[in-house]
Structure 1
């Protein structure tokens, strides 16, 4: 199986998830508070080396109509820069409603999504990566 890192790319934070060696289960790892592009990539590089990552799975925020809008284009631009910097391929997953799902999960666990936005991003990255793993398994 392939070692993947799930990323929920935002303007302020990057939610990060990893998967087990069998590629069955995604787990939230951390949330990077974005600084400079160079610093962000350096932190991602460390994680990728530690986990022997072979592919980055990035959530793409399609519009509700299923189109690629300006926000999705910004994510693609940033993701491709990160992928090039880390010499890793990128795969995209439709991330519509993942932040909403993440907030619901936190509410069920009696956590406040408003107070813990970094955790929302991490859970969203986990959902993104889990969707990708499930899709690969079903094919």
Structure 2
């Protein structure tokens, strides 16, 4: 007797599909995946503000995944925004493939939907902001990854707030208690 394969969710979904599947109060996590660290940011329940959370020092995949799963569980996360390191010309290189491989492997441990978000120049923008704030090199090194994750997640949240081309999609921010007013 042949075993049925478990149906897995798609590896990645569009930001629009991800946001349409969420209810008010649910949160997104933003990840800036580096070779040595993973920057982590968390949205608020209204999907308005991304806040830097922590930087995970990478060890082995299993340990990295467990740290992320712990954060996801403790914070009622229902979706992942993963920074995609495209080349400046928009093509994908080795880092992009490593990010896709991470997402594919992480999916085995965590069935949450993932959307990829262009992270080009996110670390540069955050570093520039920290330099403008006259932050010491040691402090910059300590916060840049989680700030970059927050920058990535905030970009996605801003896009959600801006809306999508398809006007037939429900407004995420429309309150259920509108007393029947049109």
Relative to the length of structure 2, the TM-score reads: 0.72
Are 2:127 and 2:140, in contact at CA under 8 Å, matched by a contact in 1?
A: no
**Residues 80 and 113 of structure 2 are in contact (CA less than 8 Å); yes or no, is this contact kept in structure 1?**
yes
What is the CA-CA distance between 1:88 and the residue it aligns to?
1.2
Report the alpha carbon displacement of residue 115 of structure 1 after superposing the two structures with TM: 5.8
4+ residue runs over 6 A deviation:
none
Preserved CA contact (<8 Å) 1:25 1:130: yes
SS at match of 1:85: coil
Using a 3 Å threshold, how does the CA distance of structure 1 residues 113 and 138 change in structure 2: closer, same or farther? Answer: farther
Gaps of at least 5 residues in structure 2 are 1-23, 164-182
> How many residues are matched?
139
Where in structure 1 are there 5+ consecutive unaligned residues? none
Aligned counterpart for 1:101 among listed residues 125, 128, 135:
125
Q: Counterparts of 1:129 and 1:70 in 2: how far apart (Å)?
A: 22
Distance 1:103 1:14 in 2: 16
TM-score normalised to structure 1 length? 0.93
Corresponding residue number in structure 1 for 2:65: 41
Whole-angstrom CA distance in 1 between matches of 2:135 and 2:99: 28
* 1:125 corresponding residue in structure 2: 149
Structure of greater Rg: 2
